[in-house]
Amino acid sequence: MKWIQHLKTINEHRRLVRQGCFRLGLYYQGLVHDLSKYSPSEFLVGAKYYQGYRSPNNAEREDRGYSAAWLHHKGRNKHHYEYWIDYSASEGEGMVPARMPERYLAEMYVDRVAACRIYNGKDYKEDMPLKYYLKGKEKIMMEADTKRMLERLLRMLARDGEEKTEEYIRKRVLRKVFVPSFMKKCGK
């Protein structure tokens, strides 16, 4: 019955991300976050490799040498920095990361916090997303400004907590992306 546990994990993760995105004003992203995880190519593999304490994609990768579920997932979800890797326009440069739009950077932040909450359960602490990020920081192919901002947000979370970090994201990171018209009229 690993598929039931996997389904519960997906649902709980999506619930946490939805709540985080809603607090940031990213309503649509909160609603559609990770819907591809219910597709057969991701769900069936996730159920097969489900362990409960880490991503099933890691177990599939260890078993097969790659994760077909992850390749499917990252190609459909803009909140993953891997989605934003493309060939360079400069000849001979190869593959390069593109800057992530702020709304997807904010969703990536929320996604990482939610994943840490899920996999650490009652032991979760606000420095865990930063620690996890720092373990793999040197190996990731992420555009420099995107990388700096993600790290800034994760450091802020560890130092100042979720409420202050989300306020910063709303007021500083997403301000230029989405300001509802009723807020403009109120002078906010």
Predicted confidence (pLDDT) per residue in 155-179, tens digit: 999 999 999 999 999 999 998 544 4
CA distance linking residue 33 with residue 105, whole number of Å: 13
Residue 109 gets which letter from DSSP? H
Widest pairwise Cα distance in the chain: 56
Q: Which residues pair with 96 in a beta bridge?
A: 86
Q: Give the pLDDT of residue 63.
A: 97
- Calculate ∠ Cα 38-2-122, nearest 5°: 90
Tokens of 115: 């994943």
> Sorting pLDDT into bands at 50, 70 and 90, what band is 83?
very high
pLDDT tens figures, 11-45: 999 999 999 999 999 999 999 999 999 999 999 99
Mean pLDDT of 103-123: 97
Taking residues 117-122, what's their average pLDDT? 95
- Residue ranges per structural domain of the chain: 82-180
Q: Residue 101 and residue 26: Cα distance in Å, rounded?
A: 13
